[in-house]
């Protein structure tokens, strides 16, 4: 928690740095930093050193490298930015499915300290090679288009963006998706235990989430180039709500798999929509800083979600469902009716 929140706090400064030195140099610096963080992790002794090493991994890896890759795409692409962001998200999803298995095998073969060095140095080397040979040394300059809503150069500063309602609408959606998904994933086993599912069966539902999310990210990226972001985000938030209710009322493995698949689709569409919308609406001149702030919001939501759900479970007496499915449905209907009658 400490390492994650500290890395989130650093993201706006990393984004400003990317605006100044460009995504190529930022990616190179982050790749070297990630490799050194792995070496530091392999030598830790005690909780303080472990927390510091974890912070370095988060800030250079999921922080600076992720931000600089998205920033590089935003500077290079416009009309098909959604499609390439969707492809980026799909490769992240695929790598996330493979990396844990590689990690387990390395730890079993060489121990966790050696595995930390091999994994971090390898990832850093890949990032360094990508920065040297795949990222523009000088990104092309684009004239403002009708998609860009900013000032004379089509761009908002970070302060100007923070003063708009649009940015906070996007951030509320981003934080909600991050909070709900992380909360459900952290507590999925006790949630599904109320439906009689054991740990192995609950773990298998992640395959449905990953498969649906990968497909939705690719399709969502294509749709983000053709549809209004307000429509796509409304669809994503609706699917997120439906999937969460279905998981809470699950009576079978099929219910759980469908609920997790809906979560995957919601996450894929939201992810593919968010990045191109930030670039197109607020422009590119200060995109790194704005993208860094959005990263902080997403990480903060992910950190708060599991805690909020566990606190709520303490208040209501656990993750248990209503005693009958019919009773649960009546409760949902009552809540919806009350919401509709509220001014």
- CB-CB contact of 250 with 224 (8 Å): no
pLDDT tens for each residue of 8-55:
889 999 999 999 999 999 999 999 999 999 999 999 999 999 999 999
Q: Is 224 or 302 the better-scoring residue by pLDDT?
A: 224
Q: Is the pLDDT of residue 341 over 90?
A: no
Crossing angle for the helix pair 287-316 and 2-42, to the nearest 10 degrees: 110
Q: Is the pLDDT of residue 221 over 90?
A: yes
pLDDT band at 335 (very low <50, low <70, confident <90, very high): low
Closest C-alpha among 93, 81, 75 to residue 224: 81
pLDDT value at position 326? 45
Phi and psi at residue 198, to the nearest 5°: -85, 180
pLDDT band at 320 (very low <50, low <70, confident <90, very high): low
pLDDT value at position 131? 92
**Alpha-carbon distance 184 to 259, whole Å?**
11
Q: Max CA-CA distance within the chain? A: 62
Contacts of 212 (CB under 8 A, 6+ apart): 260, 261, 262, 263, 264, 265, 268
Residue 274, Cβ neighbours under 10 Å: how many? 27
Crossing angle for the helix pair 253-282 and 287-316, to the nearest 10 degrees: 150
Q: Is the pLDDT of residue 324 over 80?
A: no
Phi and psi at residue 226, to the nearest 5°: -125, -15
Burial track 56-90 (b if 16+ CB lie within 10 A, e otherwise):
bbbbbbbbbbbbbbbbbbbbbbbeebbbbbbbbbb
pLDDT band at 134 (very low <50, low <70, confident <90, very high): confident
Count of CA atoms in the C-beta half-sphere (13 A) of 54: 13
Q: What is the mean pLDDT of the chain?
A: 86
Contacts of 165 (CB under 8 A, 6+ apart): none
pLDDT tens for each residue of 89-132:
888 878 877 787 788 889 999 999 999 999 999 999 999 999 99
H helix or E strand, kind and range, residue 298: helix 287-316
**Alpha-carbon distance 51 to 31, whole Å?**
20
Tokens 């004379």: give the residue.
152
pLDDT value at position 104? 84
pLDDT value at position 114? 94
Q: What percent of the chain has pLDDT over 70?
A: 88
Closest C-alpha among 327, 296, 322, 285 to residue 75: 285
Q: Is the pLDDT of residue 276 over 90?
A: yes
**Alpha-carbon distance 169 to 295, whole Å?**
15
**Alpha-carbon distance 8 to 63, whole Å?**
7
* Average pLDDT score over residue span 217-243: 95
Burial track 327-341 (b if 16+ CB lie within 10 A, e otherwise):
ebeeeeeeeeeeeee
**Alpha-carbon distance 138 to 233, whole Å?**
33
Q: Is the pLDDT of residue 135 over 90?
A: no
pLDDT tens for each residue of 164-205:
999 999 999 999 999 999 899 888 888 888 778 888 888 888
**Alpha-carbon distance 177 to 234, whole Å?**
12
């Amino acid at each position: 928690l400490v390492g994650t929140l500290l890395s989130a706090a650093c993201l706006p400064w990393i984004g400003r740095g990317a605006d100044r030195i460009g995504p190529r140099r930022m990616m190179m610096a982050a790749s070297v930093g990630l490799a050194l963080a792995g070496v530091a992790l392999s030598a830790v002794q005690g909780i303080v050193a472990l927390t510091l090493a974890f912070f370095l991994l988060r800030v250079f890896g999921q922080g600076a490298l992720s931000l600089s890759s998205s920033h590089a795409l935003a500077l290079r692409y416009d009309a098909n930015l959604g499609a390439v962001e969707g492809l980026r998200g799909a490769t992240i999803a695929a790598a996330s499915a493979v990396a844990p298995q590689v990690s387990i095998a390395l730890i079993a073969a060489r121990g966790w300290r050696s595995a930390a060095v091999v994994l971090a140095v390898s990832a850093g080397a890949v990032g360094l090679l990508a920065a040297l040979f795949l990222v523009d040394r000088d990104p092309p300059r684009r004239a403002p288009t009708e998609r860009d809503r900013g000032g004379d150069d089509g761009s908002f500063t970070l302060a100007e963006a923070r003063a708009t309602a649009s940015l906070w609408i996007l951030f509320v959606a981003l934080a909600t998706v991050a909070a709900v998904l992380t909360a459900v994933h952290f507590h999925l086993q006790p949630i599904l235990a109320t439906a009689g599912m054991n740990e192995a069966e609950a773990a298998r539902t992640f395959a449905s989430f990953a498969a649906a999310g990968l497909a939705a990210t690719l399709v969502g990226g294509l749709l983000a180039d053709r549809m209004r972001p307000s429509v796509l985000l409304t669809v994503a938030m609706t699917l997120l709500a439906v999937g969460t209710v279905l998981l809470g009322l699950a009576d079978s493995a099929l219910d759980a798999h469908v609920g997790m698949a809906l979560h995957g689709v919601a996450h894929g569409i939201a992810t593919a929509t968010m990045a191109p919308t930030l670039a197109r609406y607020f422009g590119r001149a200060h995109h790194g800083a704005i993208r860094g702030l959005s990263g902080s919001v997403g990480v903060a939501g992910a950190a708060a979600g599991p805690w909020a759900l566990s606190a709520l479970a303490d208040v209501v007496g656990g993750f248990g469902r209503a005693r009958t499915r019919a009773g649960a449905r009546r409760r949902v209907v009552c809540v919806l009716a009350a919401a509709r009658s509220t001014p």
